[in-house]
Amino acid sequence: MKAACWMGKQDVRVEQVPDPKILNDRDAIVKVTSTAICGSDLHLYNGFVPSMESGDVLGHEFMGEVVEVGRGVTNLQKGDRVVVPFPIACGGCFSCKHGLFSLCENSNPNASMAEKMWGHSPAGIFGYSHLLGGYAGGQAEYARVPFADVGPIKVPEELSDDQVLFLSDIFPTGYMGAEMCNIQPGDTIAVWGCGPVGQFAMKSAFLLGAERVIGIDRFPERLRMAREKVGAETLNYEEVSILEALKELTGGRGPDACIDAVGMEAHTPGLIGAYDRAKQAMMLETDRPIALREAIMACRNGGVVSVIGVYGGFIDKFPIGSFMNRSLTLRTGQAHVQRYMRPLLERIQRREIDPSFVITHHMPLEDAAEGYAIFKEKQDDCIKIVLKPH
Amino acid sequence: MTTQPETVSTSDDKGRLATGLGWFSVGLGLAELLAPSAVATLIGIRNRGRSNLLIRLYGIREIGAGIGILAQSRPTGWLWGRVAGDAADLSSLGWALAQGSTDKTRAAIATAAVSGVTALDVLSAKNLSATTQSSGPVRVAKTITIDRPAEDLYQFWHDFGNFPTLLDQLESVHATGANHSHWKLNIAGGRSIEWDSEITEETPNSRIAWRTAPGSHVQHSGSVRFEPATGGRGTVVRVELHYAFPGGATAAKIAKLFGMAPGQHIETALRHLKQLMETGEIAKSDASIHPSLTHPGRPPEKVPQGQMAAGAGA
């Protein structure tokens, strides 16, 4: 079959690879009908996630048709149309029983590798480094789905792929980012990063009762989408001082909660940006925590900082003084997607949201290399790319 | 999974000399990286163009070695790395001394300084290497919590024939008597080791202890305990092994024999036991079923024998 493979830093190629096979009783094989390139795939693309090997199949946002099931999968049948959650979760361990699916204790075969880096291991993830399991990803014609009796959700025919695909990651991720903010009536939520996850975080903040939402980015097309499709107010950090602008917009108090939907490759003009770029290049810090620092400094006293942008290792100049003295709460996590798929599918069915609004590009899988390149460079107003393998 | 401290001390005892050398590395490295011209002047090199790049590269090397020494509790390898770096520095200085444009006095002073540091590096590395290889029985302890009653786990463990399911490298385990069993483990280099084991103590649903029969190549004794976790959160499984070799056991000897750190087999087996007990199968990814971990995460051409839906019936 054809699959988008990571061959090295900023080198993605569509290659011929063997078809996946059932390896365990609870596996299923899915014929991929739609798969998306995620902002977090760019961290792999740019070489900031350790333990990638040349040839790894990419992709953790995908959906398709079940073509084969293992003996242990009784809830799915050949022909079912399913969306697959990006964290692989067994459903039976302590974490899964507590709804913490992205922390499944049993799905990462390379857990000992992750333990060395992070102390404990999270769940395995499709197409996201050997540290997180070494699973082949879904930017391919077919994908093997472990624990298929727990993860995939069947979706009704009347909804298109574009409407339900993002249940695999970015809609639940944005939603969880907003949910962690414990939004109360009258709250103002600020969101760093108006990429697809940021858009869903902003939209979800409204769904969860926020009165005002402020989106922060520098790309005009992303800020426009936040205003026009989500109804957020927007700030361009290349034009204004974010800390001052947020104070002004919130009567001096600061946003009640701040969501970091940026992560490890944050960009900022000026000296701070150069400082973090230099340290990252010299391997003295693995991540550039520019959005995170600003989110902490901006948040109102006693507020919540919710981190859904991806970080990998270690950062410098964490503003612990601001964080501690002002009673802030930090909440984080890879989305526990399995927990959110059903309720969010129902919201889509009730027409409360149509997640397809973030899509700017459709491409055949063959063009994945071009897709990664224009997504990285934000060319052609690119915000979200959906690949079609068949 | 937690790893309890091993008797082959894992505490932070690298010593003040090593720590000092670590900080020295970082400081020198930063100077070389950020101000290569000043460093060149200091050591008497006048030909700036090429030497600046080399000095910067040496700076990166120094910073890496320094972080390695400071970050690790037993940075023996990093310290030997520093010794190798000293050798490179000395040969570069020797080259500089031979150039006409070099300030001979300054370069000679720099060479003397580097030689002194080299002596310290060798001393520190030798000290640490010596303590790493201190002899005595090697104790390894591993712990994991499994969401199943102690009875189920005890029963599974007591049937040693189950063990090859948990560990690919374990070729076979056969019962050779009521309390006796024969084990065959594949080790590095396509070889295998075998031993006979006898149960020395068993308390149903709570503890099993064993030791190798006299004459086995690898002498060890071990025990597994099953204890209820707090709040009804399953069972804590604790495994403890003591290795003894003729002439004294060391972690290094065991690692050399098995091709991996002592206890790594146990860690893997415990993790697989948890997967099997909690999910009915052992998690496999495209990368993990390849013979070598370095193979890319893409579907394999052929699934290795015994990997297809293994453990399903356990």
Among the listed ranges A97-106, A293-302, B186-195, which one has the minimum average pLDDT value? Answer: B186-195
Cβ of B309 and A127 within 8 Å?
no
Q: Which residues does chain A have within 8 Å of residue B267's beta carbon, measured at their own beta carbons?
A: 112
List of E strands, chain B: 2-3, 138-146, 170-175, 180-186, 192-203, 207-212, 219-228, 235-244
- Edge-to-edge strand ranges of the sheet holding B235-244: B2-3, B138-146, B235-244, B219-228, B207-212, B192-203, B180-186, B170-175
Higher pLDDT, B229 or B244: B229
- Give how far the C-alpha of residue A320 lies from the chain's centroid of Cα atoms, to the nearest Å: 26
Per-residue pLDDT, B9 = 32
Return the sign of the alpha-carbon dihedral for residues A123, A125, A129, A133.
Answer: positive
How far is residue B288's CA from residue A104's CA, in Å, rounded to a whole number?
17
DSSP string, A241-265: -HHHHHHHHTTTS--SEEEE---TB
Distance between CA atoms of residues B46 and B101, nearest Å: 6
B278 within a domain of the structure (yes/no): yes
The C-alpha atoms of residue A179 and residue A199 are separated, in whole angstroms, by 14
Residues B193 and B282 both lie in one domain: yes
| Chain-chain contact of A110 with B293 (C-beta, under 8 angstroms) | yes
Question: Considering only alpha carbons, which residue of chain A is nearest residue B268?
Answer: A112
Question: Does the residue B167 lie in any domain?
Answer: yes
Answer yes or no: do B167 and B120 share one domain.
Answer: no
Domain boundary among B83, B105, B131: B131
Q: Is the pLDDT of residue B108 over 90?
A: no
Q: Taking the model in full, what pTM does it have?
A: 0.80
**Per-residue pLDDT at B311:** 37
Looking at A195-204, B30-39, B166-175, B263-272, which range is the least confident one? B30-39
- Which one of B131, B166, B182 terminates a domain? B131
Q: Which chain B residues have a beta carbon less than 8 Å from that of A112?
A: 1, 264, 267-268, 271
Which of B67, B298, B302 to probe the A interface (max A CBs under 10 A)? B298
**Distance in angstroms (rounded) separating the CA atoms of residues A166 and A356:** 8
Q: What's the confidence (pLDDT) of residue B15? A: 67
Mean pLDDT of A355-366: 98
H or E segment and range at residue B20: helix B15-34
Provide the pLDDT for residue B292.
58
Q: Is residue B157 part of a domain?
A: yes
End-of-domain residue from the set B79, B98, B131: B131
Residues B234 and B267 placed together within one structural domain of the fold: yes
- Residue B33 domain-assigned (yes or no): yes
- B154 with B100, same domain: the answer is no
Clarify whether residues B119 and B151 are in a common domain. Answer: no
| Claim to verify: residue B122 and residue B161 sit in the same structural domain | no
DSSP per position, B34-74: H-HHHHHHHTT---HHHHHHHHHHHHHHHHHHHHHHHH-SS
Instruction: Give the mean model confidence (pLDDT) for residues A127-155.
Output: 97
Residues B115 and B176 occupy one common structural domain: no
Query: How many angstroms separate the CA of residue A186 from the nearest CA in chain B?
Result: 39
Do the domain assignments include residue B1?
no
C-alpha closest to that of B236 among B122, B148, B107, B135: B148
Question: Does the interface ipTM go beyond 0.85?
Answer: yes
- On whether both B194 and B142 belong to a single domain, the answer is yes
The residue range of the domain holding B15 is: 11-131
Predicted pLDDT at B6: 39
What is the pLDDT at residue A280?
79
Residue of A nearest to B290 (CA): A134
pLDDT value at A60 more than 90: yes
Residue B40 lies in a domain: yes
- Please choose, from the candidates B7, B43, B15, the residue with its C-alpha nearest in 3D space to the C-alpha of residue B28: B43
Residues of B with CB under 8 A from a CB of A: 1, 33, 60, 63-64, 145, 147, 233-234, 264, 267-268, 271, 274-275, 278-289, 293-301, 303, 307-309, 312
We report the CATH number of the domain holding residue B307 as: 3.30.530.20
* A86 has pLDDT over 50: yes
How large is the average pLDDT for residues A58-84?
A: 98
Say what the pLDDT of residue B4 is. 47
B206 vs B197: CA distance, rounded Å:
19
- B101 domain residue, yes or no: yes
| Whether residue B87 is found in the same domain as residue B195 | no
Confidence (pLDDT) at B313 = 33
Q: Are A329 and A338 in contact (CB under 8 A)?
A: no
Give B8's pLDDT tier (boundaries 50, 70, 90). very low
Residue B4 belongs to some domain of the structure:
no
Total domains in chain B come to: 2
Q: Of A23, A58, A95, which to mutate for an interface test with B (greatest number of B Cβ within 10 Å)?
A: A23
pLDDT score, position B2: 53
Q: Verify that B144 and B127 share a domain, yes or no.
A: no
DSSP assignment letter at A12: E
Beta carbons within 8 Å of A15's beta carbon, 6+ residues apart: A2, A3, A5, A55
Average pLDDT over residues A48-73: 95
pLDDT at B7: 34
Tell me, yes or no, whether B212 and B271 share the same domain: yes
Q: Could you say which DSSP state residue A56 is in?
A: E
Residue that has been written with the tokens 């060798």 in this structure: B122
pLDDT in tens, A17-33: 999 999 999 999 999 99
Question: pLDDT at position B128, please?
Answer: 63
Q: Do B309 and A25 touch (CB under 8 A)?
A: yes
Do B98 and B173 belong together in one domain?
Answer: no
